[in-house]
Each structure stands twice: as structure tokens, then as C-alpha cells.
């Protein structure tokens, strides 16, 4: 267990939900979550209406770290093209970690078929934000069709993430960045 004694029961539950759902999927049981967090089921249900709400809160809590990971370290100096390619470089860098299981938000969307599930809504919002980031940078970079390019880039990102997370593709050969570069070139992005 990676939680500290000073973390609140709520934080320990959210951390446990993040770890276990990423490693094992969203179907993890309440007992396993509570055991990992060192929190009773009674306490969990006092803090959250349901496991679904706890999972959504865990995903929501991770958004700033997720977004920061893909934000260029010098966005003012970077061109739109460099900002987009940075996302793919970071994806490739993270994909070689032995604990990498793909994009946690894509995994939730794949696992949860119910669009009304609270975690599905959080995950969908994160993916829409990434598409909007691609679209904005594509517009700034002069893409002929920013909407189409954003959709293509998201498809490459999610496909590369899923294949690397399933250990059927290695990204250490820069395949995702090379593919994104070809799309940027074809779209005329500077």
C-alpha cells in the first residue's frame, strides 16, 4: 500500500481507486478498494454515494497531472507543431514504463459501456479536451482542416496508447511521433 498515515480516508480511497482501476480495470471490488486504502466500507459509503462516484472523483482528481504531462514545458516559445508533437513524445516516453497500461481515460471509456456512468463522463471530457487542444494548435499552425486533423491526431494518440498499453506495440521507435508528423505535414501545419 502506497498511502501515508497523514492522508485522509478520502484521499486514500481516491489514490487506491486510481492505482487499482489503472492496473486491474474499473470492475475492481469495493472490498479490494477499501483494503488497499485501509478504510472500512462503512467509511467509504459515508464519503461517497457509490463506488462509481468514487471512481469518477478519482479520475477527476488526476486530470491536472495528466494535462500537465502533455503540456509543452515552454508553450510560449513552442510552435503549434512542436506543442502537438510534444504530446506524442510524452506518450512514447510513458509507454516504456513497465507499469504502463495505456491512457487511463481511454481505458475507462472502453470498459464502461454506459455513457451515463459518472466516470464515463469524466473520461469523455478529458478526451474532448485533448481533441480541443489538437484542434486549437492545428488552427494556430495553419491546418487546412483543423477539425479533421484533431480527430486524426486523437485517433493516433488513442490507438498508440491502447496498443502500447496492451503490450502489442512498442512506441520506443517513435512510431506515434512519426505518424503524427506525417499528419501534420499533410495538413500543412507549421
Residue of 77, 188, 68, 52 whose CA lies nearest to 133: 68
Supply the pTM of this predicted model: 0.92
Cα separations in angstroms, 111 against 17, 24, 67: 15, 11, 22
Q: How far apart are CA 107 and CA 158, in angstroms?
A: 10
Cell of 107: 481505458
| Residue owning grid cell 502537438 | 84
pLDDT tens digits along 83-114: 999 999 999 999 999 999 999 999 999 999 89
Question: Residue 13: which pLDDT band, with cuts at 50, 70 and 90?
Answer: very high
CB atoms inside a 10 Å sphere around CB 174: 13
pLDDT tens digits along 26-47: 999 999 999 999 999 999 999 9
pLDDT at res. 5: 58
Cα separations in angstroms, 58 against 47, 63, 108: 13, 9, 12
pLDDT at res. 6: 80
Q: Which domains does the chain have, with CATH numbers?
A: 1-62 (1.10.357.10), 70-190 (1.10.357.10)
pLDDT tens digits along 120-166: 999 999 999 999 999 999 999 999 999 999 999 999 999 999 999 99
Question: Residue 3: which pLDDT band, with cuts at 50, 70 and 90?
Answer: very low
Amino acid at each position: 500500500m502506497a498511502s501515508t498515515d497523514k492522508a485522509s480516508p478520502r484521499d486514500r480511497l481516491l489514490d487506491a481507486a486510481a492505482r487499482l482501476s489503472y492496473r486491474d480495470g474499473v470492475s475492481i471490488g469495493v472490498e479490494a478498494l477499501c483494503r488497499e486504502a485501509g478504510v472500512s466500507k462503512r467509511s467509504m459509503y459515508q464519503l461517497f454515494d457509490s463506488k462509481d462516484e468514487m471512481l469518477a472523483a478519482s479520475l477527476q482528481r488526476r486530470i491536472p497531472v495528466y494535462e500537465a504531462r502533455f503540456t509543452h514545458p515552454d508553450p510560449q516559445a513552442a510552435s503549434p507543431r512542436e506543442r502537438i508533437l510534444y504530446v506524442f513524445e510524452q506518450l512514447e516516453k510513458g509507454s516504456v514504463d513497465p507499469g504502463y497500461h495505456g491512457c487511463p481515460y481511454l481505458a475507462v471509456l472502453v470498459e464502461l459501456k454506459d455513457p451515463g456512468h459518472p466516470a464515463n463522463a469524466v473520461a469523455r471530457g478529458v478526451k474532448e479536451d485533448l481533441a480541443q487542444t489538437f484542434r486549437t494548435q492545428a488552427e494556430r499552425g495553419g491546418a487546412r482542416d483543423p477539425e479533421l486533423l484533431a480527430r486524426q491526431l486523437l485517433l493516433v494518440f488513442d490507438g498508440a496508447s491502447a496498443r502500447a498499453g496492451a503490450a502489442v506495440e512498442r512506441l520506443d521507435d517513435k512510431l506515434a511521433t512519426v505518424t503524427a508528423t506525417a499528419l501534420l505535414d499533410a495538413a500543412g501545419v507549421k
